[in-house]
Structure 1
Amino acid sequence: MINRSLFEDTATAFTLKSDSELERAYFLFKMISSEPLVRIGTAATNFALKAHLPVEKLIRATVFDHFCGGVSEEDCLPVIDKLYTEGVSSVLDYSVEGKAEENQFDNALEKILKIIRFCDDREAMPIVVFKPSGFGRFLLYQKKTEGVELTTEEDAEWERIVNRFDVVCKLAKEKDVEVLIDGEESWMQDAADDLVEEMMRRYNKEVTIVYNTLQLYRCDRLDYLKDLHQRAKDSGFKIGMKIVRGAYMEKERERALEKGYDSPICENKKATDDNFNETLKYILNNLKDISVFIGTHNEASCFLAMELMETHNISKEDNNVWFGQLYGMSDHISFNLAAQGYNVAKYIPFGPVKDVMPYLIRRAEENTSVSGQTSRELTLLKAEKRRRKL
């Protein structure tokens, strides 16, 4: 039987947090719960960084250290080791965004290869992650998705992207490290999907190494998975899927309105939740063919996964099922699941403070828009503070 009060256990949830870290977390989520404060804080931080004001230490001591592991892989090691004492693995996420030059894509490739080697022989780090646009120009993916004919130069550029994907997946296969490839905007995603599928055909023959991402606020994604499943069965390869609700909803809706096409986004939150849960059911019904990384902060979806695993007699330790949450959020889910013996990993963003700020700002804005998430964090932090006082 699933314990329905599992996620109320704040002693387990915050076991790694000192009293001062607990206070900092409470302060940060209190700030994030206020939209005007987030807007002011974002503008002030951007200005201070652009003006080269000495604010990096302040950022590092507050929001950065709460949501990020460090400025480099080595800097993240204390966080990685600490999490693993409670059975929580780590996925290092190099969160530097918005690059567009070939040398920057090559640098991103070298960074991911370095992380894979860094993972080797570290039980606490079985998984790496990268974004397709980290390895090539967004507009090139968009052209491929739209079926626009590429120039000779663009063809050569696309081959370099394919090669970067291949080099990463090949090394990951050699080192037995799983690779999660993030989902992005719908108008470039078809090209990324095709490329990831090709990597699955090459490297997912016996076990699952390569994972694509389904953003399930898109109403077409379950059908895509079913079609992919048929191709995988016909061709003899395994599917890896990270499932998430999604990260570009407003942008997707605005573009659909502007360009005059039907939005690919589910009509409301309930439809998104239903889509996520139906996809989860489909995968756990077909676990011999599809491995899953369940990226969610939604408690109901976690309980559903646990119930389905119990119904289908899927072991908690089965490597084909992972739960994942972001570092600095939903510790009540991560640590309580890990304490029960499930496979759990935290996404740990890292990189130079200035370069990671766009990521941190997006986190703050997302939390502001999902008020239920922030108030849940605050309620649990308050409960743990009360428990420690008693």
Structure 2
Amino acid sequence: MLTSTQRASGVKPISFEDTSIAFASQSDRKLRKTFWLFALMNKGWLVKVGTFFIKIALRLQLPIKKLIKGTIFEQFCGGETIRDCEKTIQTLHTAHIGTILDYSVEGEENEKSFDDTVQEILRTIERASESTDIPFSVFKVTGLATTDLLEKVQNGASLTDQEQTAYERLRQRVDQLCRRAYERNVRIFFDAEESWIQDTIDQLSYEMMDRYNHDRCIVYNTFQLYRWESLDHLKKETEVARKKGYLLGAKLVRGAYIEKERLRAHEEEYQDPIHLTKEDTDRDFNLAIDFCLENRTIVSICLGTHNEYSCQYCVQRMEELGIAPGDSHIWFAQLLGMSDNISFNLASAGYNVAKYVPYGPVESVMPYLFRRAEENKSIAGQSSREYLLIKDELLRRKGCCLAPANQA
């Protein structure tokens, strides 16, 4: 049913049930393959056993790379290099969806790997500057420095001379990335991480915003709304930005480290930083949408979410506030291989949408892929939702094929 605002504006309501749009870019063969992958991921015990044996096989250097590349890697990653991602970039671009190249190599903590990561992210910025099909770059601060150093800085502990030098190198790396993004006019995300290092990341991000966000919004920090203090943090930093005269970039997410956060809070006996209930998180997420839209002269946002209600809520609030779907200050983002019903239907309706496209050597991105498998198993209804939507589309296509020519 149309709202009065929708009727007045002629805007059609968005249906995240429209599978013909959601899976238009996928062939029947690819869709059937995706269907069976999600069917398997829907079985928690199988994900657990499969993850265990893949880890063993990789440790023993057994020849399973081809199997991984043809299944879970193909579903959730663009390739091993930026060049490998070009087909995915173009497929998304055809559907008016941008790409966020996400170099997802993890677990290498030494100065050479940090410098190599900087060079790779610089390459994503250069690729993004060449066309409009890559609207954002992204990096994790833990890809540029050790977690131990970030935690020590956050705790205000005294740094050794060697640690102080390492921290200065981190600041130089961060500045190098943000400066290049500014020079190439490419937006760049600081990804969020665990609460015990997030204050250090926040501090670096706001320092970069004050340096590069005065005339346009280039640098974005990520706000995890499953933390009970994040909404107030967002409001406070907006006022700081207003007073200092720079623009605030805010990527809104719910959060990805809930089990790890709660376990550590329990073990070290400090207040759990996570909301007690999912309803509290959902409330704060939507209140953050309200706040950002109402302060859009100073705040640019990207909703990094697979939550259909929050996406619909943002669309509704944009309509009520008279904000055009293609407003350059408002973006939606989902992960490659997930929630195509949200991404493709929003893009089809004229909203700004981008997909995170992880890439890197198969062995190095396995931690990311294990999280996707676990996430799809553990998020209430997520893999079931994907599975059922794909099933509906396969049935729809079968019905079209069987229909008379004048009805197909």
Interval containing the TM-score (normalised by the shorter chain):
over 0.9
Are residue 177 (structure 1) and residue 177 (structure 2) matched? no
Are residue 235 (structure 1) and residue 249 (structure 2) matched? no
- The separation in 2 between residues aligned to 1:66 and 1:369, in whole angstroms, is 18
Are residue 71 (structure 1) and residue 80 (structure 2) matched? yes
Are residue 365 (structure 1) and residue 402 (structure 2) matched? no
> 1:170 offset after TM fit, Å?
0.6
Alignment check: 8 A CA contact 2:140 2:192 kept? yes
User: Pairwise CA RMSD of aligned residues?
Assistant: 1.0
Are residue 107 (structure 1) and residue 151 (structure 2) matched? no
- The separation in 1 between residues aligned to 2:348 and 2:61, in whole angstroms, is 44
The counterpart of 2:98, out of the listed 69, 85, 89, is 89
Deviating runs (4+, > 3 A) in structure 1?
2-5
- 1:356 alignment counterpart: 365
Alignment check: 8 A CA contact 2:135 2:354 kept? no
Alignment check: 8 A CA contact 2:216 2:247 kept? yes
Are residue 188 (structure 1) and residue 233 (structure 2) matched? no
Aligned amino acid, residue 61 of structure 1: G
- The separation in 1 between residues aligned to 2:54 and 2:27, in whole angstroms, is 27
Alignment check: 8 A CA contact 2:21 2:344 kept? yes
Aligned amino acid, residue 28 of structure 2: D
Are residue 98 (structure 1) and residue 111 (structure 2) matched? no
Are residue 323 (structure 1) and residue 355 (structure 2) matched? no
The counterpart of 2:302, out of the listed 290, 293, 297, is 293
The counterpart of 1:309, out of the listed 306, 313, 318, is 318
Alignment check: 8 A CA contact 2:38 2:386 kept? yes
* CA distances 1:33-76 after superposition (whole Å, capped 9, x unpaired): 11110011101111111111111111111111111000000000
Are residue 211 (structure 1) and residue 220 (structure 2) matched? yes
Tell me the secondary structure at the aligned position of residue 206 of structure 1: coil
Report the more deviating stretch, 18-27 or 68-77: 18-27
1:324-339 equivalences in 2 (<5 Å):
324-339=333-348
- The separation in 2 between residues aligned to 1:347 and 1:301, in whole angstroms, is 18
Report the more deviating stretch, 119-128 or 11-20: 119-128
Tell me the secondary structure at the aligned position of residue 381 of structure 2: helix
- The separation in 1 between residues aligned to 2:53 and 2:25, in whole angstroms, is 31
> 1:365 offset after TM fit, Å?
0.4
1:372-387 equivalences in 2 (<5 Å):
372-387=381-396
- The separation in 1 between residues aligned to 2:388 and 2:347, in whole angstroms, is 21
- 2:286 alignment counterpart: 277
Tell me the secondary structure at the aligned position of residue 251 of structure 2: strand
- 1:50 alignment counterpart: 59
Tell me the secondary structure at the aligned position of residue 148 of structure 1: coil
Aligned amino acid, residue 327 of structure 1: L
Tell me the secondary structure at the aligned position of residue 188 of structure 2: strand
* CA distances 1:161-200 after superposition (whole Å, capped 9, x unpaired): 0000101111101111000110000011111101100000
Tell me the secondary structure at the aligned position of residue 22 of structure 1: helix
Tell me the secondary structure at the aligned position of residue 16 of structure 2: helix
> 1:151 offset after TM fit, Å?
1.4
Aligned amino acid, residue 270 of structure 2: Y
- The separation in 1 between residues aligned to 2:114 and 2:12, in whole angstroms, is 46
* CA distances 1:291-346 after superposition (whole Å, capped 9, x unpaired): 00100100100011001111111121111100000000000000000000000000
Give unpaired runs (5+ residues) of structure 2: 1-5, 400-408
Tell me the secondary structure at the aligned position of residue 97 of structure 1: coil
TM-score under structure 2 normalisation?
A: 0.94
- The separation in 1 between residues aligned to 2:394 and 2:236, in whole angstroms, is 49
Give unpaired runs (5+ residues) of structure 1: none
- 2:404 alignment counterpart: none
Q: How many residues align?
A: 390
Tell me the secondary structure at the aligned position of residue 252 of structure 2: strand
Alignment check: 8 A CA contact 1:33 1:371 kept? no
* CA distances 1:344-388 after superposition (whole Å, capped 9, x unpaired): 000001001111111000111011111311111111111101000
Tell me the secondary structure at the aligned position of residue 111 of structure 1: helix
- The separation in 1 between residues aligned to 2:235 and 2:128, in whole angstroms, is 32
- The separation in 2 between residues aligned to 1:212 and 1:381, in whole angstroms, is 34
Alignment check: 8 A CA contact 2:23 2:341 kept? yes
The counterpart of 1:12, out of the listed 3, 14, 21, is 21
Alignment check: 8 A CA contact 2:192 2:198 kept? yes
- The separation in 1 between residues aligned to 2:380 and 2:194, in whole angstroms, is 24
- The separation in 1 between residues aligned to 2:299 and 2:222, in whole angstroms, is 13
The counterpart of 2:352, out of the listed 338, 343, 352, is 343
- The separation in 1 between residues aligned to 2:127 and 2:292, in whole angstroms, is 30
TM-score under structure 1 normalisation?
A: 0.98
- The separation in 2 between residues aligned to 1:140 and 1:308, in whole angstroms, is 41
- The separation in 2 between residues aligned to 1:4 and 1:33, in whole angstroms, is 30
Q: 1:93 to 1:370 in 2, by over 3 A?
A: same
Alignment check: 8 A CA contact 1:92 1:350 kept? yes
Tell me the secondary structure at the aligned position of residue 315 of structure 1: coil
The counterpart of 1:140, out of the listed 146, 149, 156, is 149
> 1:5 offset after TM fit, Å?
5.8
Alignment check: 8 A CA contact 2:250 2:300 kept? yes
- The separation in 2 between residues aligned to 1:215 and 1:32, in whole angstroms, is 26
- 1:158 alignment counterpart: 167
- The separation in 1 between residues aligned to 2:259 and 2:112, in whole angstroms, is 31
